[in-house]
Structure 1
Amino acid sequence: MVDSIRNHGRLGNIEIRHLAALEAVVETGSFHRAGSQLGYSQSAISQQIATLERAAGLALLERPGGRRPVTPTEAGLRLLRHARRAAAAMRAAEADLTALAEGEAGSLRIGTFQSAGVRLLPETMRRYAERWPGVQVRLVESGYDDHLLDLLARGELDLTFAREDDDPAFESVTVLSDPYVLLAPAASDIARSDRPVRPRELAALPLIGYRRPNDGIEAFLRSRGLEPEIVFRSDEGGTVQGLVGAGIGYAVVPLLAVDEVPEVRVLEVAGVPPREITITWHADRVPTPAARAFVEIVTEIGAEIAAGYAGGVGTRRRGHS
């Protein structure tokens, strides 16, 4: 018990630079390359790692010698997870202070993915520029929201569009509940039906899926014990719709991503939860007035698109969607 009390807080004197050194060595596999990355000499990196290992009371790195890369021990991996969170928190704090100093001027960095960029952003940007002309909005696009959330965690974004996520590191508001629809070749039998398509029927169709099998309808169908037949994979909306129109297969996509063309019929889908699109920020950062204004405007646009969805796929008002 006494030893436990004595050792409590043994990492208390560790600085961010020590954790940054550990992260850099693991990422590069080399003390020399880590030093070059951080602007230190190799000996300085070695000293920082030694200080960290003394404080931890455990070896954090395996040093095989020669040209073989340095790798983390189990203790090193565990500390590295905390080191990355600490580094991300410091970057977020720096971004928070920068935003506070800039007030209502400066820049606002927004992360987006393709369908949000095409359907939600143009009208949002027009209204935002009218109301906040002194703020420069910088956009970063990615195909995957885990990449955008990583940028947000590191303080490289102020806000990002993302799918609903329960990670406590982030806070968000819902912009739009975006229903999934089936894209079918206009000449297919199923295209003549006016009733919603059920999951079991979807699983029986040759489907064009996303590059990541866990995205979209595939994971949902498998959770229902249904194994989909995937004939092609693409994240490019134009490619997917072109292939559907050519009769290569069918696709289940969010309605926001759809461009109506004569060769493709858009059919309602029943029993599949919608994609929840949010606008998200770091929980440890206080959104600036400029960021809060962006959130307010984009939720306005989302409400207008949702009103167009209310009549169903065949009667929705395209508006800004």
Structure 2
Amino acid sequence: MGRGRASASDHAENRRRGRSLAGAARRLGYSQPAVSQQLAALERLVGARLVERRAGGREVALTQAGRLALLHSEAMLARAQAADAELRALEDGSAGILRLGTIPSVGARLVPQVLRRFARHWPDVVVELAEHDDDAVLLEQIEAGNLDLTFALLPLAGGPFEAAEVLQDGYILAVAADSALATVGRKVSLKQLAKLPLIVCTQSSAPEALLRAHGIAAQIRYRIESNETVAGLAAAGLGAALVPRLAIDPGRDDLVRLELVTELPPRLVGIVWHQDRHQTEAARQLVELASEVGATI
């Protein structure tokens, strides 16, 4: 402990080791009267005499009560030091809990890689995940202080937020592996797209907006929230899924992903935090890692 923070139990320990008030005071960097005052305060607190002076008054020894108090004070001091270290770690972000929100497609493809890298740098930070289909709900949780960070689609509609772009998620057409389009393997034109029964995610109107801009009325057969349901319907040959790339697991062998001749504007995925709240170093690094991982997908 530094000067000014020594406790009465420190003084008792130093007396036990040094056998004199003067010696204890020198080791602690205090005057002898100050040591005596703190000792007296401790004795009043515990209601027992902790040290006794020996013949001549220069040497002191712990009483039975003093030895018992010292035994407990050592344990208390160790716990206090551990608590101080943990609180400092919590303050600087090297320990504690980081609450992260995500939408399903990002949660399946991006988040696992981000968290794996994050754990290498911040092993004592626990990341709690919250997933929701609607990023507006996650942004409400950021504003309410229930989340520290969340993945969301950009641009944001407004609010007390700051964001960093993580990746641009382009649209693809996913069709059953045994479909005619899959066997051809070419890029799909808008005219071909107009003739297909489409499966789209309810979260985005971009596919329909593009087709309308080209004077084409889209044949939307299903509007689905769940990416897994979208993929399952497409794999069963019930339509072609016009979805962001992240929505389809590239490891599926019952689907073929096709590019479009005319590309849709990509879906922009960002990571968001509250602009008025302190951001820990751990949170800042998670933002950086998300951008690094996003650049590889």
User: TM-score band (shorter)?
Assistant: 0.5 to 0.7
Paired residues in the alignment total 207
Aligned to 2:281: 289
CA deviations over 1:239-280 (Å, ceiling 9, x no partner): 222211211111111112212433321101232011111111
Q: Which has the larger radius of gyration?
A: 2
Change (3 A) 1:219 1:177: same
Aligned to 2:127: 137
Aligned to 1:74: none
> For 2:148 and 2:235, how far apart are their aligned partners in 1?
39
Q: CA deviation at 1:100?
A: 11
Residue among 219, 225, 229 paired with 1:235: 225
Query: Secondary structure of the residue that 2:114 maps to in structure 1?
Result: helix
Residue among 60, 81, 91 paired with 1:102: 91
Aligned to 1:119: 109
CA contact (8 A) 1:208 1:249 kept: yes
% identical equivalent positions: 43
> For 2:205 and 2:88, how far apart are their aligned partners in 1?
34
**TM-score, L = length of structure 1:** 0.59
> For 2:208 and 2:277, how far apart are their aligned partners in 1?
35
Change (3 A) 1:165 1:99: farther
Residue among 179, 182, 185 paired with 2:176: 185
> For 1:263 and 1:192, how far apart are their aligned partners in 2?
13
CA contact (8 A) 2:139 2:150 kept: yes
Change (3 A) 1:171 1:200: farther
AA at the equivalent of 1:297? L
Residue among 227, 238, 244 paired with 1:248: 238
Change (3 A) 1:143 1:187: same
> For 1:254 and 1:211, how far apart are their aligned partners in 2?
12
Structure 1 gaps of 5+ residues are: 1-97, 306-321
Structure 2 gaps of 5+ residues are: 1-86
CA contact (8 A) 1:112 1:140 kept: yes
Q: CA deviation at 1:218?
A: 2.8
> For 2:281 and 2:121, how far apart are their aligned partners in 1?
12
> For 1:152 and 1:262, how far apart are their aligned partners in 2?
38
Q: CA deviation at 1:125?
A: 1.1
> For 1:146 and 1:219, how far apart are their aligned partners in 2?
21
CA deviations over 1:96-139 (Å, ceiling 9, x no partner): xx999733122111000111111111121111112112211111
Aligned to 1:49: none
Query: Secondary structure of the residue that 2:295 maps to in structure 1?
Result: helix
Residue among 184, 189, 198 paired with 1:198: 189
- Structure 1 residue 163 corresponds to structure 2 residue 158: no
Aligned to 1:258: 248
